[in-house]
Amino acid sequence: MSVRKKTPAPRRAAPAGAPPEASDTGLIGAKLRGLRQHQTRTLAEVSAITGISVGHLSQLERDLVSPSIKTLHDISRALGVNISWFFTPEVPLDHASQYIVRRDARRHISFAEGIDDYQLNSLAVRQIGLLYSTFAPGSSSGESPYAHEGEEAGLVVAGKLELWIDGVSLHLDTGDSFSFPSNRPHRYRNPGRAKTVVVWAMTPPTY
């Protein structure tokens, strides 16, 4: 379990090639709690559906921990949304922001495994999702593969990526790309010692 400290570290100037900064923290607690309460579901009810303990769900809602990718996937399905729902801005957008996503305004989700997903597409499109994903060395989506509707593709912008599809391990280097039906069981990790960056697309955005 990855405990997330509430006191942020002092901000430093980002070096050239650093991952993009987002205007939010990457935590999903308030959105998760608001969605659950809007559906008048108790923590115990969500726990019974997902198999995730009430205590862990409570910690997620209070932003004491970050979710794993599989945990957020299971919670999303239980509450009838996709993971991409948690990227939704909490403030109204101006006209330009309906179509353009500025570098410093990217919404993101920070996962416990050391993976950060930044949303690149604007809210003007509903049938495609575009992510800028960063993977810390050794980070992964977990040992258990998962599947969902749609298709996805990606380009390894930096580092290395190991991708499992139907239990078969595939190794990609910088500049390699991939695509596959999302209903095939899949998982992935950064097998290298440096950060990996992947631009990832999926349609529809059922992730």
pLDDT of residue 19: 39
Both tokens of residue 73?
């996937």
Contacts of 65 (CB under 8 A, 6+ apart): 1, 2, 3, 4, 56, 59, 112
Q: The whole model's pTM is what?
A: 0.76
Segments making up each domain of the chain, as ranges: 29-87, 96-203
What CATH number does the domain located at 29-87 have? 1.10.260.40
Both tokens of residue 195?
């950060």
pLDDT of residue 168: 97
Residues of the chain with confidence (pLDDT) below 50: 1-23
CA 159, CA 198: separation in Å to the nearest integer? 9
pLDDT of residue 15: 35
Interval 37-77: pLDDT, tens: 999 999 999 999 999 999 999 999 999 989 988 899 899 98
Residue with tokens 């999702």: 129
Q: What kind of architecture, by CATH, is found in domain 96-203?
A: Sandwich (2.60)
pLDDT of residue 171: 98
pLDDT of residue 89: 66
Q: Measured between alpha carbons, how far apart are the two ends of the chain, in Å?
A: 22
**Strands of the chain, DSSP E:** 108-110, 115-119, 129-135, 151-158, 161-165, 168-172, 177-181, 186-189, 196-203
**Strands of 46-107, DSSP E:** none
